[in-house]
Amino acid sequence: MAVMVQDATSAPRSVTILGSTGSVGCSTIDLIERNPDAYVVEALTARRNADLLVEQAKKLRPRYVAIGDEEHYHAVKAGLSGSGIEVAAGKEAIVAAARRPADFVMAAIVGAAGLAPTLAAVNRGAMVGLANKECLVCAGSLMVEEINRNSAVLLPVDSEHNAIFQVFDFERRDAVDKLILTASGGPFRSFDHEAMRSVTPAQAVAHPNWDMGAKISVDSATMMNKGLEIIEAHHLFDIPEERIEVLVHPQSVIHSMVAYVDGSVLAQLGTPDMRTPIAYALAWPARMQSPQERLDLAAMAKLTFEPPDPERFPALRLAREVLKNGGSAPTVLNAANEVAVEGFLAGQIGFLDIAAIVEDVLMQFSHGAMNSLDDVRAFDEEARRIANHHLAARSSN
């Protein structure tokens, strides 16, 4: 994917945050509040956290606020009464927020729900900070085509892809040998198969290094997040699957690496704080001050690495298989995983059932080509229907 280098825009830069009440959204707001002269907020959106959305809107004074769950519309409307802020609700209202004329859009809606609004921002040629890996997993080729067609700028916010972006030589792509995605290994890195069978949702969301939402934390625990990141890296950097490695690095200091054909390996390092990649995207192509703890390698003393265990973490194998198969397979993988993770968090299935359900759905699904966003939606809906069937069967056992 081509990267367009632009001159830094004159301050203040206008910003829309899709998913402002989530972990990435809150961190983005923290940085904006620390740099009030550099940014103005055009729009904020949330799925259902009306109270926090109202609180954020009162502080940041956006022109437009949207709540995805229409049941919370009146609460948001009442909370912002007299403010002059336009309030809307529903899925289309979220998409409308993305279409508003902000210079920069932080796409931080978790899951496939973030696809339509992120595409809306891309279609108007916006600069998009992508914190939603599912957009490229579900509709990678379509997304890249739209980015290029509309001269949009896509800045990866996931710490791993942001790290690669910072050290990737886009002008000499043929000099890149491979990408190395690092993974913390999650909370169950040292658990054997039997121990993982009995882990609880509370254990799975307690990530040892990162402060993340529940779904992303579970994906980290299963290593499905790293599988999704392999697919995302393929589309972001146009590197084939066999040249994308995963390396477990428990300290989460090296966020990813690019190996070059001359033997050089370039890495981006930092403390495990999402405000680092968010700040990089917010200020790009400049850099901004941000408050996170600075990296002290002497105090760290030791950085360790190990290969991932494909037997205990089958999600990595599944992700590589669907990337090779192409078509609807990555969309199906993502949809089935979202359903299975929701079932696990609700206590309906066990931890090991997550990857098992995903594999069952992939085996049962009649895969096909994807030529439009409507195809993506259709495959996503059918995969969820099948996944829910498997979820019900396993939860009844």
pLDDT digits (tens, 9 = 90+) for 15-65: 999 999 999 999 999 999 999 999 999 999 999 999 999 999 999 999 999
Place of tokens 């956006």: 62
Residue 373 token pair: 């966003």
pLDDT above 60 for 112: yes
Of 129, 109, 135, the closest CA to residue 44 belongs to: 109
With contact defined as beta carbons under 8 Å apart, do 303 and 110 qualify? no
Query: Per DSSP, what are the bridge partners of residue 46?
Result: 67
pLDDT digits (tens, 9 = 90+) for 179-229: 999 998 888 888 888 888 888 888 888 766 656 678 888 998 999 999 999
Q: What integer pLDDT is reported at residue 190 of this predicted model?
A: 84
With contact defined as beta carbons under 8 Å apart, do 53 and 20 qualify? yes
Q: Reply yes or no: is the peptide bond before residue 285 cis, omega within 30 of 0.
A: yes
SS (H, E, C) the chain: CCCCCCCCCCCCEEEEEECCCCHHHHHHHHHHHHCCCCEEEEEEEECCCHHHHHHHHHHHCCCEEEECCHHHHHHHHHHCCCCCCEEEECHHHHHHHHHCCCCEEEECCCCHHHHHHHHHHHHCCCEEEECCCHHHHHHHHHHHHHHHHCCCEEEECCHHHHHHHHHCCHHHHHHEEEEEEEECCCCCCCCCHHHHHCCCHHHHCCCCCCCCCHHHHHHHHHCHHHHHHHHHHHHHHCCCHHHEEEEECCCCCEEEEEEECCCCEEEEECCCCCHHHHHHHHHCCCCCCCCCCCCCHHHHCCCCCECCCCCCCCHHHHHHHHHHHCCCHHHHHHHHHHHHHHHHHCCCCCCCHHHHHHHHHHHHCCCCCCCCHHHHHHHHHHHHHHHHHHHHHHHCC
With contact defined as beta carbons under 8 Å apart, do 20 and 94 qualify? no
Query: Per DSSP, what are the bridge partners of residue 182?
Result: 247
To the question of pTM greater than 0.85 for the whole model, the response is yes
pLDDT digits (tens, 9 = 90+) for 315-329: 999 999 999 999 999
In 10 A of CB 199, how many CB atoms?
Answer: 17
CA atoms within 13 A on the CB side of 56: 32
Q: What integer pLDDT is reported at residue 209 of this predicted model?
A: 64
CA end-to-end span of the chain, whole Å? 46
From CA 95, how far away is CA 114, in angstroms rounded? 9
With contact defined as beta carbons under 8 Å apart, do 105 and 128 qualify? yes
CA 49, 52, 58, 63 torsion-angle sign: negative
Supply the angle between the helices 315-325 and 329-345 in degrees, to the nearest 10.
Answer: 150
Q: What integer pLDDT is reported at residue 212 of this predicted model?
A: 67
pLDDT digits (tens, 9 = 90+) for 364-388: 998 888 888 899 999 999 999 999 9
Region 266-295: mean pLDDT is 94
CA angle 212, 361, 217 (to 5 degrees): 10
Q: What integer pLDDT is reported at residue 344 of this predicted model?
A: 95
pLDDT digits (tens, 9 = 90+) for 41-52: 999 999 999 999
Sorted by where each starts, the structural domains of the chain and their CATH numbers stand as 13-157 (3.40.50.720)
Q: With pLDDT > 90 as the criterion, what percentage of the chain qualifies?
A: 79
Where does the pLDDT of residue 10 fall: very low under 50, low under 70, confident under 90, or very high at 90 and above?
Answer: low
Where does the pLDDT of residue 134 fall: very low under 50, low under 70, confident under 90, or very high at 90 and above?
Answer: confident
Q: What integer pLDDT is reported at residue 203 of this predicted model?
A: 86
